[in-house]
Amino acid sequence: MRIRNLNSFIKVASLGSFHAAAQQLHASQPAISARIASLEEELGVQLFQRDKSGTRLTARGMQLLPFARKLVAVHEEMKAQLRDSAPQRGVVRVGVADTLAQLWMAPLLKRWQRQFPLLQFEFSVDLSHELWRALHEHELDLALMVSEQASGELVVEPLSACQQCWVASPALGLKGEAALETLLRHPILSFPRNTRPWRYLQGLLAPLAEQTEAAEPILYTCSSVANLMTLAEQGCGVALLPEPLVRAALERGVLQRIGLDPEPPLLEFCCAWRLDDERLLPRLLAEEGRRLMEGAADG
């Protein structure tokens, strides 16, 4: 999709005239018509309705207009930043889910420091649904969090994913493989209510509760993944945690991995920023984070 065609579309839409748009863009009217026709052919929709009263946007044209403006604005900012040798300045508010903060905050900050040495970063470490809310309420510029539902107000792109695993202290006497009923003889250590791991546990435990007359499982929740690990190491219960976070504890023998069928799903993370943020910076920061995490996974 050519930026020139989008720019012509925006001019015709704002002026309501192919002739006026041609004059402002220093082009001939047939050239403007050809650009619009090319755009319509590419998209497979009619963008303008022309009659005696003038030129009006169709419903599809009105739908396209805000996206066209954003694309042209990003294109102009990209050119300006590439021409500008002055480094980025200012404050960027970044929200990070606790798991990602434990794994990646330090290496990510070091990478950003090299790329953007004059930027100031304000980090907020919180639950993903709180970061989601803060983005919607303009309290953050960028969030790295557990993937959530789509939003018409945010740009949401995949970031990384990690395996989850069941772990427990060897003191609990569990074997390497265990049935769910065996695990439930101990309290379950979990992330807080309405987080993705908590919802997975609810789905896993609900059928079991319906099929048996066993006592209701005991869940202890905590918003800090570091404290969940400590509780598991000290034998307070069985925990479902991201595998990269417990790898060192498994190697030291203070935790043991418990095999359970079915295997827990991947915990997927995303990066997100506001759709109405016309700066290129959030996308650049997110891309650097993705490269860092992908490079570690490949290595």
Percentage, residues of the chain above pLDDT 90: 59
Q: Is the pLDDT of residue 225 over 60?
A: yes
Give the tens place of pLDDT for each residue, 238-267. Answer: 999 999 999 999 999 999 999 988 889 999
181-198 as b/e: b if 16+ CB within 10 A: eebbebbbbbbeeebbbb
CATH topology classification for 90-162+268-298: D-Maltodextrin-Binding Protein; domain 2 (3.40.190)
The pLDDT score that the predictor gives to residue 25 is: 87
User: Residue 172 has what DSSP assignment?
Assistant: G
Q: Is the pLDDT of residue 210 over 60?
A: yes
Mean pLDDT over residues 83-93, rounded? 71
79 vs 267 pLDDT, higher one: 267
The answer to whether 269 touches 144, Cβ cutoff 8 Å, is: yes
Give the tens place of pLDDT for each residue, 114-143. Answer: 988 989 999 999 999 999 999 999 999 999
Residue 57 in tokens: 């946007």
Percentage, residues of the chain above pLDDT 70: 93
129-140 as b/e: b if 16+ CB within 10 A: bbbbebbeeeeb
The pLDDT score that the predictor gives to residue 83 is: 55
Q: What is the pTM of this model?
A: 0.68
Residue 155 in tokens: 């740009």
**256 beta partners:** 168
Mean pLDDT over residues 173-191, rounded? 88
The domain covering 164-264 belongs, at the CATH homologous superfamily level, to Periplasmic binding protein-like II (3.40.190.10)
CATH topology match: 90-162+268-298 vs 164-264: yes
Mean pLDDT over residues 189-205, rounded? 91
Domain residue extents for the chain: 3-83, 90-162+268-298, 164-264
The class level of CATH for 3-83 reads mainly alpha
Nearest to 143 by CA among 269, 294, 280: 269
The pLDDT score that the predictor gives to residue 50 is: 86
Give the tens place of pLDDT for each residue, 6-51. Answer: 999 999 999 989 989 999 888 889 999 999 999 999 999 999 998 8
Coarse DSSP helix, strand, coil percentages of the chain, rounded to the nearest 5 percent: 50, 20, 30
Provide the angle, in degrees to the nearest 10, between the axes of the packed helices 98-115 and 281-298: 110
Give the tens place of pLDDT for each residue, 45-77. Answer: 999 998 877 899 999 999 999 999 988 888 777
Residue 184 confidence class, pLDDT cut points 50, 70, 90: confident
Judged by DSSP in three states, 184 sits in coil
Q: What is the Cα–Cα distance from 111 to 105, expressed in whole angstroms?
A: 10
